[in-house]
Amino acid sequence: MTDTTTEPKTSTKLVAEALGTMLLVFGGVGTALIASAFPYDDPANPLGVGFVGVALAFGLTVVVGAYAWGPVSGGHFNPAITLGLAASGRFPWKDTVAYIVAQLIGGVVATSLIVLIGVYGPGTWLADAMNGGFASNGFGDASPGGFGLGAAIVVEVLLTAFFVLIILGVTHPTRGNALLAPLAIGLTLTLIHLISIPVDNTSVNPARSIAAAIYGGTEALSQLWVFIVFPIVGGLIAGWVHRALLEKTPAPPAEETARVEL
């Protein structure tokens, strides 16, 4: 008989991480660039989905990605989550680099596909998207609401920490609910975007930030360090806090729980 409980191969997990991150970035950044304001020549944009639509797009992509590929790789789709899970004891440190590389590749493929779509877009759409920052994260003049560096740091650390804490809670091997966890995680990401899109266009995910910034111009690239460093700081803090305060008993071996971490 075939053993259907065999752990997926590492290569399979990495493909799942790349696909999930690609879906997340393509769905979220693609919505921000293509659908948030429409028609493009109408200042009122009556058909555009706006901030709420972009927030839902990020949340929905996490929900469907976690249901589709979470059972394979754990469905991190975010370097800050991978490192936060490692800090909590739920994921092996030795696998973090490979996961993060796969996530970065998936994100860059996603924004490159958006560029490919834009090549065949109307008029100067692609040039305008790139000149406008390509939905990159930013502060100061690059912030949608004009918020400064301090505000960006606070929201990225705080919201990423809450995000990872919620993930660790809803995916706990005994207290969590594997069937509903992806929905809870997706709704949390939606809420995070509703709060912080006006502040810095919402990162909480270095892979998303890097993928957009490579097409967003010099200002996006010069500010990118903030959206790499501080989501990771938030994720690590959450992992350590969860391990110290919320899960004081030793976590199950990472190999046994990696498939349920979403």
Return the domain boundaries, the chain. Answer: 10-260
Angle CA 243–8–98, to nearest 5: 60
Greatest C-alpha distance within the chain: 63
Angle CA 13–83–195, to nearest 5: 105
Check residue 40 and give its pLDDT.
87
Check residue 176 and give its pLDDT.
84
Distances (CA, A) of 37 to 34, 43, 83: 7, 9, 35
Check residue 130 and give its pLDDT.
97
Q: Which of 257, 211, 243, 246 is nearest to 84 (CA)?
A: 243
Q: Which of 147, 165, 154 is nearest to 242 (CA)?
A: 165
pTM above 0.95, yes or no: no
CA 255 – CA 253 distance, rounded (Å): 5
Q: What is the dihedral sign for C-alpha 10, 11, 15, 21?
A: positive
Check residue 120 and give its pLDDT.
97
Check residue 180 and give its pLDDT.
94
- Provide the residue count of the chain: 262
Check residue 253 and give its pLDDT.
54
CA 40 – CA 38 distance, rounded (Å): 5
Class (C level, CATH) for 10-260: mainly alpha
Per residue of the chain (262 residues), give pLDDT as tens.
334 457 889 999 999 999 999 999 999 999 999 999 998 888 888 999 999 999 999 999 999 999 999 999 999 999 999 999 999 999 999 999 999 999 999 999 999 999 999 999 999 999 999 999 999 999 999 999 999 999 999 999 999 999 999 999 999 988 888 899 999 999 999 999 999 999 999 999 999 999 999 999 999 999 999 999 999 999 999 999 999 998 865 555 555 444 444 4
Phi and psi at 214, nearest 5°, equal -65, -20
Buried b (16+ CB within 10 A) or exposed e, 1-22: eeeeeeeeeeeebbbbbbbbbb
- Other beta carbons within 10 angstroms of residue 96's beta carbon come to 17
Contact in structure between 132 and 209 (CB atoms under 8 Å): no
Contact in structure between 62 and 77 (CB atoms under 8 Å): yes
Check residue 257 and give its pLDDT.
45
